[in-house]
Structures are given as structure tokens and as C-alpha cells.
Chains A and B, each alone.
Chain A
Amino acid sequence: MKQIEQITISSPDVGRCNSFIYCLYITDPEGVVYIGETGARNGILGRLSNHMTKGEGTFIRKCYERKNINLDEINGNIHMIAFNLKEYPDLCGDVNRPNRRALEYFVQNKLEEYSVAESTIIPYDVVSWVRIAQRFALNENYIRIAEEVADTFYAKMPFTKNLFSGKVCL
């Protein structure tokens, strides 16, 4: 019997080669979250394809390294939520990659904080890893944007079920 695969996209922007901050997550066998960024070369579809390449893909590799979960052991769907950065010129394009990585760092930190928030009822671990250049460490503008991005991701992920009212209780 032929296997049927399915991919659903929420808007044509998904296919466009913009710059994005994205979040990959699974819920079964465990809650795992991965935060990443991508430039405009292949957009998020190209980035997703990289992540799914067994042995090379970072998401798959991190799931194994950090959580001992193999690709075959992932039950259900692998989800991707992406935040389009087209409204932030200083976060778009190859030349602004260090800025985008700073944003990625702050989003990752926020979602790590939320993983131990009282409003999180399904535990999850953030397995991605990023370091930033020193000069971004206190960039208030990126910290503010990161909060917006992290809150959007958190609200769309199922780890809070119905308890999430738009305010994270730490």
C-alpha cells in the first residue's frame, strides 16, 4: 500500500524565502521544543527539510543527543511554527544573521523559562542551542521582540492546554 504523506501550510508566506524565527516541536514520546532561525535563501521549508535529514538534521540530532529519542520513536506529528521577520529589516537577510541569532537566543531563553511556568501543564524541554555575540546581550529591542515571538509560540503549542490566558505565570 502506498504511504500517504501530508503537509499543511497556513499561508503562502510559508513558501516564500523570507527570514524567519521558527519553533519545531513534538509532544510524544515527550515534549521537545527546538528554536531556530533562517535567512532568505530557502525559507522555512528548506530549513525544515534540513532538520529532517536523518543523521545530519539538527532537530533530529538534538532529539537523540539530549533526549535519547530516535526519529522512528517520534509518535504523531512534528510541528513547525514560524514567525515572519519581514517587518523587521534589521533582522532580515544574510548580513543581519548575528542579529537574528540574538533574537533566537532570547526566544529560546523565554521558552525555557516558560517550561517551568505554573501555566505549563505538559512538561517540555528546549533542546536547541545558540550563543550570541557579547554586544547583543542587553539589546532591549530584541528582548522585547523575543517576548512577542515566544508568547506567540507558547500560545500556539499544546503544552498549556486551555490554561493559557495570554499571561505566563512563572
Chain B
Amino acid sequence: MYRNDREVELPLMRVLTGIRNFGYTFQAAIFDIMDNSIVAGAKRISVFIEAEEVATKNMKKIIIVDDGCGMNLDEMYNALFLGSPTSNYDDNSLSKYGFGLKSAGLSLANTVAVISRKNRNENWKKSVISWNEFEQMNQYVVDEDVEIGEEEKYLENLGEGTIVILEDLLNINRINADKAHVILKKGAGITFHRFIEEDKLVISINKDEVEAADPLFCELSGNEFSKYNGREPVSFWKKDCIIPINAEKKAKAVVKAILLPCPPVYEKEGKKTEINKKYGLTKQNIGFYIYRNRRLIKQGVTLGLITRRQETYPVRIRIDLDSRCDSFINLDVKKTELYFTDDFLEKLSERVMPFINRAVELWPEVQKKGGEENKTVSDLLHDRSNKLLEKISPVDCDPQTLEIKQVQKEIETKIEQFKKEYPTEKNIIDEIRKRNGKRVIAVDDLENGMLWKPSIGDDDSNKVIVLLSRAHPFYTKIYQKLVPGSDAVVVLDALFLNMAMAEMGISSLDVSKLAKIFKRLRQSVSYQLSNFIDLKIESDEETGVDEAD
């Protein structure tokens, strides 16, 4: 029921006070006004900060000048009136609610003036809104066609475009002008870096040109993820990953994951600090960078998916959204906050967790590798074992007679049979050849998810060797976590090599029969170990249903 005796008019000053207190920071307010310049197609945006002529040199006035398409008086009125019409916004517009200029401007200053023209044949026009006027008249009023005063100096060499002047700054925003300059320059470089890089937009603060600062260093990330050596940024996916937000509206997030360099790798060269600084590898820079229509909205947020710790310092993930996502992300007026649905976060987690987990593993791996560029991490891992186990030879210990028999010769006499029963794929033969003389060799993968397999070395000695699968979770989760050459690695290597030698030694009694039995044993152990180690990520509920088949 609507009652007629209720107040009809909104309490204007209370509403306006709420609007000017949306929670803008100084730079967020300026960037919101700069968004309008980008929407207007500006190729150059110049920000001038005028300081008070006293010792504190606090900001007195802020002027934002752009060479965009400009406005006539009616358009200026619309821009200064609360809630500009949405019909003015293109699909990829940075504007959204039609509050930006007013709410951002009034959050900083008591007077917001706009000077604009659409082409050089017209005269410049100026319109102003003033907090004092609102208070005095208790009405939202725009003072139009006001005489242009000392701002004329900013109009020189400007064909068309718009100037926004923020005057009579609120006390809270009267920070030191030099400090403001530094904050704005750094912030604009990262917030608008895509426009600077892709559209050649030029932004300057007090004539000091802003440089683009891509937090993901995409231009440098040419290498494949598998080739990561801790020295250059690498991209996790070859193609950006697309995650739907709403199928009906075709709203989607385009995700790019980059792993930046690992500074300890540069320690020997004394460049650790330099690399840290270059890539901004600090705790607060870890995580997600969220863009709307290419403009950075949020930086270095974890979304509950990343823990801020040393191993995740190089993790940077970009999420690109466009206007079609607006209804599903609760973007706020000042364009600094947004919220994703639980459904989306779950999907995002499924896609990015393999990257984050791998990144955490890679930090210690590349450190272990250090400067030894020509060796793989696996080579380094087993180097010491291969020296210590070089001369070990297979024996057959009979538990009944307690006799120990050397069986290398036995194996050699039946070498053709062994090669038949223990066939080796071509790519693995290549790996063995590359590591000629080594007894423990890690290979990319073994058939049917096997963890280890005996084989015959490529040298003339026909020595028994053991192949370990780098794809098996035992290798990735256990071996790769150990310090290369440590006693633990040597003991594990000795265990697998001895099992391989015992298998071949005992199989020599009846190769064709016993090789099959041992293969079955290895398959069973490998399968069980794989399941056991993967258990925590194999908790998918579908498992139960399939197992019941």
C-alpha cells in the first residue's frame, strides 16, 4: 500500500552526502574521472596538480585535460546531472552507473567544473556544480555557460576535448602535491596499462609521462610453462582459459595465468634484489588482477584461492571481464570492488588450482637446479645415487638354502629373452642413451601408469637399470620434494634399483613366465600407490557411483 501522507521529496543533502561518501580513495576518484576521458576516445590525458604556495605544498586544485570528443552544453548538463542516461554507453564502456564524475568529483572537492567543446570551430563552454550552491538552494543545480577564467591556459593547443577542474578540495584530500603525483603516476601506469600499450594512450601527471606497468609482464612470457627455469615469466596455458559466468548472456571470464621469475635463481649473479624489484615480487602483489573492459579494477587479491607465502610470490592471474558480466559481479559505483558468485569461484578454482599447486612445487625445484642449466631437475636428483650405485650387481638370495648367487652372467646369457619380455619404447631408449652408464633414470612416463620398470642399460655391460616414471604421483609428490642427492633419495633409488635387479635376477630362472608375474606385481603396487597419493584430490563424489558399476 502506498500512503499519500508520506514525504515525497528525497532529503537532497543527505542523499548527496551519501553519494560523495561512496568510499573513493583519492586516486580511485581521479581514475574514475579519467575513465570518462577514455570513453570519449581521448588519446592523451593530462593531469595537473596545483599546490598551495605554502611550506606544506598540499594540493589546491586538480585539473584533468583530455583530447576526447568533447561535449556541447546539453551533454555537459547530462554529465553533471545525477545518473547520466545509460544510452550514452557503448558495450565496452568504462562507465556504468552515470554517477562517476559527480560522486568522484564531489568526494574530492566542493566545486566540480567542466569545460568542453566538440570541435575547434565552437567556443569553449563551462558548467559548474558546487556543494555550497546545493546547500544554499537545497536543490541539485548545474550552473551553465559560466565565464572561463584562469583555466584558459589549459586550453592552449587543445582542438577539442574536455577539462575537469576540481577546486576547493576537502581537507581529507589535501595531501602533499608531490606525494599525490607519485601515487597517481604509479596507479595510472597499472590501472590503464592496457590502454597505454594497446591504444597508445598517453597519460601524464604534471607533464611527467606515465609508463605502462603490466603486472603480468605478458610481453616477456614467451616460453612454455614446462621450460620454466625461474628466469623468465611463463604462461601456464597456451591459450587463455575461458570460464562461463552466464551462458544466456554469454558472459565469460577470460583467464591468463603467469608465473614470474624466481629471484633466488639470480642469487649467484647478485641480481636477486634487482629481479625482486623489477617484477614487484612482494606479498601484496601475489594473486588475481581483475579487469573490466581492459581497465584494472582489483589488484593482488587472493579470492580465497591463494595463500600469500614465499612460494606464491611469482603467481599472477589475470581475469578479463566485459560489460556483459556486470549483472553477475556486483561491481560498485567507484569501480574498485566486485564480487563473484560461489559457482564461478568453484569453476575458477578447478581451473587455476593445478597452476597454483605447480607454482608452489616449482619454486624449490628451480632453486635446486640453480645455475646448472643443462641438467634436468631429475638428473640432479639422482646424480649422487648414480655414482654410489654404479658398481652394484644383481644377486639371487635363496631363502631356503640361504645361498647368494651372482646372476649378472645369467642375465647376459638370456639377454635377447629379456629384451623381448621387457620391451622399451623408442622415446625411453633415447632417454637411456642420453644418460648412458646411469643406473637410475627418470623418464617422462611408463606404460599404464607404472611407477618403475627394470631395463637393460645401453652400454656394452648389459647392466640392469631401473626406470622411474616422472608422471607417477610417487615421483611428483615424494621424490621431487627431496633435496637432490640427499640420503633419502639415495636410499629410495637403491630400493628401486635393487627391486629391479632382483626381479631380473629371479626372472632369469624362467624369463617368459616370471616376467609376467613381476609385471603384475609392479602394476598392482603402482596403481595402489597412485590412488593412495592422489586420495585427497580424488574425493570427487562421482567416484562412488562409477565404482558401483
Contacts and interface: CB of A to CB of B under 8 A. Distances in A.
Are A and B part of the same complex?
yes
B542 interface: yes
A109 B351 contact: yes
Interface stretch (A6-14, A41-49, A69-77, A148-156): A41-49
Given A98-B449, A112-B242, 11 more contacts: A50-B546, A51-B545, A58-B545, A109-B241, A115-B247, A116-B247, A123-B248, A126-B244, A128-B542, A138-B225, A138-B236
A118 B448 contact: no
Interface residues of B, number: 41
A116 B244 contact: yes
A29 B377 CA distance: 54
Contact of A113 (B242, B245, B355, B541): B242
Nearest to A124: B247
Name A's interface SS.
mixed
Interface residues of A, number: 45
A158 B137 CA distance: 62
B530 A116 contact: no
B523 A113 contact: no
A134 B354 CA distance: 5
A95 B549 contact: no
B476 interface: yes
Contact of A90 (B351, B358, B448, B549): B448
Contacts of A132: 354, 537
Contact of A42 (B343, B355, B361, B549): B549
Nearest to B251: A116
Interface in B511-549: 523, 527, 530, 534, 537-538, 540-542, 545-546, 548-549
A98 B448 CA distance: 10
A158 B92 CA distance: 30
A99 interface: yes
B534 to A, nearest CB: 5
A38 to B, nearest CB: 6
A155 B542 CA distance: 26
B549 A41 contact: yes
Contacts of A126: 244
A130 interface: yes
A64 to B, nearest CB: 14
A38 B361 CA distance: 31
Nearest to B254: A170
Nearest to A36: B542
Interface in A115-131: 115-116, 118, 120, 123-126, 128-131
